[in-house]
Structure 1
Amino acid sequence: MRHLPIVILTLGFATPAIAGVDSALSQHILPGFNAFAQSADTLADAAAKNCQPDAVRPAYQAAFDAWMRVADLRLGPSETGALSVGFWPDPRGFTQRTLSRLVAEEDPVARDPTGYADVSIAARGLFALDMLIYDPAFSSYASGSYTCDLVATLAADLSNQAEALDSDWQEGFAATLRNAGEAGNTTFLSKDEALRALYTQILSSLEFSAKRRLGEPMGTFERPRPELAEARRSGRSLRNVVLAAEAAHGLSAALADWPIPAADAALETVQKAAKRIGSPTFQNVSDPQGRLRAEVLQQAVTGLRTAIKNEIGARYGIEPGFNSQDGD
């Protein structure tokens, strides 16, 4: 984990800090990874029984929902492990190109769930499945076809990744966070440093939603880019924004040991703004009214970020640090 110089105003919050870390782990993070592992396992079982799109889609949607609770964490095992679960944004189309090559060449790795771990991250995880089971260029495959086998292997590989993340968090990195500041812990040299790391994830997630999940399809007024919306093929673009906001709020509530009414109200504003969006994949951002509603949602997400900074960051006396999504 990369560390930048840390500026923390201690203000006597050492005990609440570690209590907040414990709550964040026990109430939000660890249950989140466990739920994702279980849902990914269900998806793998479904694909193994019937790898055609209609049979796989319900379990896929459930697995993606579970993933969104922890999708934007980028520390510990997730700093690199999350990349191959959710490879996005992909403005250069690496996922489509890599999958197209695998199918065209009928690369035997598509029938090797263990060996598939060595395939480019662009052809792994949820977004590769999104393309195979929703994009008409791929999704017309027949039972017993190469692409059908590829879907089953991708689902099995995703389950392996989810299990590894769950295990690495449960059995390793959680203790690293909880034991921050103790002898031998070279990752977090103080309890406040662990708190700051989790706080950074919350703010970075909301910034990612505003700038990427919303900003990518919005593009500019002169050139909107709805084709770049996250998970648009599976109709999840708007849903992911809301789920990410709810996850950030949930982690915030666990991190604080006091009420956060401003953040509660800000989340409600996000949810209300989302209901006014006319397209679940932001395909109407070319229309002035559609764009305006997307901008309102973007402002609401930013407002939630500000509320969390005021209610948690200010009270703990911390500023966010580096996050691996910051350079996206």
Structure 2
Amino acid sequence: MRRLAVILLALGLAGPARADVDAALDRHILPAFAGFAGAAERLADAAVADCRPRAVAPAYQAAFDAWMAVADLHIGPSETGGLSIAFWPDARGFTGRVLSQLIADEDPVAFDPLGYAEMSIAARGVLALEMMVFDPAYSHYDKGSYACALVRAIALDLSRQAVALEVAWRDGFAATLRSAGGAGNATYLTGDEALRALYTQLLSGLEFTADQRLGRPMGSFEQPRPARAEAWRSGRSLRNVLLSVDAAQALAHTLSGGALPQTDAAAARVHAMAGRVGDPGLQGVSEPQGRLHVELLQQAVRAMRAAIEAEIGVPLGIAPGFNSQDGD
């Protein structure tokens, strides 16, 4: 960390680094959180008006789209606040078990908006709502049923979470990032620490997409795991990959403040490779040809990460191969 600070000061980059953090907040992060809060509110309104699957599904897809713009940020309020918005991976199937128990018991918590906020994270957020709306084991319910009330509760809870997260970033953590190196800021002692924190999120998001969003459904060649794909029930696993890459590209541009030809070319290749996958839920990984296409997509995502290391990390004195998971 000290070596990075010395390099930035020597190159006269300490001022621009802070400006880049401002740009990342003002042009990408804060508008994206506001967009998610608005989309989640519209989803809640749709569920209140008619909580049946066909009425909720369009607003659900729009809210999940909006979430993906900030889904891979795991600092500040999002470090814990994002867990109950998108509980995934769910390796042990907790979401299905908790929802089934709620429905079997007709637990009155579905009629208690404040009480639902205390529910297990497995029964909250976009993935719990996906199971209720898109999984045939849960989605055959009528208006006025307990399951319908549960959908409404999850949607209202998601909207409250989205608003709380947006406010926490806008009125709290954004100032912490902006004031890095200032008196009283114990989180980021220098301006480059804030920049490095966002750069770390950028790399770790792409790493998560390659290893989890694509790696989990691929499993092994002998034992593919298509049902482990993120949001496969709603047919948006591939879309989430692309939206996560688009968000990374946008964040990279705001952090750099300049042209990123390698990164842009790599992002275009990700989209090109995704066009060959065909199955929006990544269920084709069980077939050799389908698996090959997903492997090529995974390689393209990793190549984009390498491009960002070269175009943003190297000028900052952060060597390629930097571990984005260690946080320092």
Corresponding residue number in structure 1 for 2:202? 202
Q: CA offsets per residue over residues 209-228 of structure 1, 9 Å max, x none?
A: 00000000000011100010
Contact 1:68–1:247 (CA<8 Å) still a contact in 2?
A: yes
Q: CA offsets per residue over residues 283-324 of structure 1, 9 Å max, x none?
A: 111211111100100000001000001000111223656659
Counterpart Cα distance in 2 of 1:30 and 1:158: 18
**Mapping of 1:145-294 within 5 angstroms?**
145-294=145-294
Query: Percent identity over the alignment?
Result: 59
**Mapping of 1:119-138 within 5 angstroms?**
119-138=119-138
Corresponding residue number in structure 2 for 1:306? 306
1:45 Cα deviation (Å)? 0.3
1:91 Cα deviation (Å)? 1.3
1:16 Cα deviation (Å)? 1.6
Corresponding residue number in structure 1 for 2:90? 90
1:244 Cα deviation (Å)? 0.2
Give RMSD over aligned pairs: 1.3
Counterpart Cα distance in 1 of 2:89 and 2:22: 32
Which of 279-288 and 312-321 deviates more?
A: 312-321
1:278 Cα deviation (Å)? 2.1
Counterpart Cα distance in 1 of 2:2 and 2:97: 41
Counterpart Cα distance in 1 of 2:157 and 2:219: 33
Q: Which structure shows the higher helix fraction?
A: 2
Counterpart Cα distance in 2 of 1:135 and 1:286: 20
Counterpart Cα distance in 2 of 1:59 and 1:245: 22
Q: CA offsets per residue over residues 74-132 of structure 1, 9 Å max, x none?
A: 00000000000000001110100111111111111111122111000011000000000
- What residue ranges of structure 2 are gaps of 5+ in the alignment? none
TM score, norm. by length of structure 1: 0.95
- What residue ranges of structure 1 are gaps of 5+ in the alignment? none
AA matched with 2:117 = A
CA 1:163–1:275: 2 relative to 1, 3 Å: same
Q: CA offsets per residue over residues 112-165 of structure 1, 9 Å max, x none?
A: 122111000011000000000000010001110011001001000000000000
AA matched with 1:97 = R
Counterpart Cα distance in 1 of 2:325 and 2:135: 32
CA 1:33–1:156: 2 relative to 1, 3 Å: same
CA 1:291–1:321: 2 relative to 1, 3 Å: closer
Counterpart Cα distance in 1 of 2:19 and 2:161: 29
AA matched with 1:24 = A
Corresponding residue number in structure 2 for 1:77? 77
Aligned pairs, number: 321
CA 1:279–1:185: 2 relative to 1, 3 Å: same
CA 1:153–1:178: 2 relative to 1, 3 Å: same
AA matched with 2:268 = E
Counterpart Cα distance in 1 of 2:325 and 2:77: 14
Corresponding residue number in structure 2 for 1:295? 295
1:6 Cα deviation (Å)? 6.4
Counterpart Cα distance in 2 of 1:317 and 1:178: 21
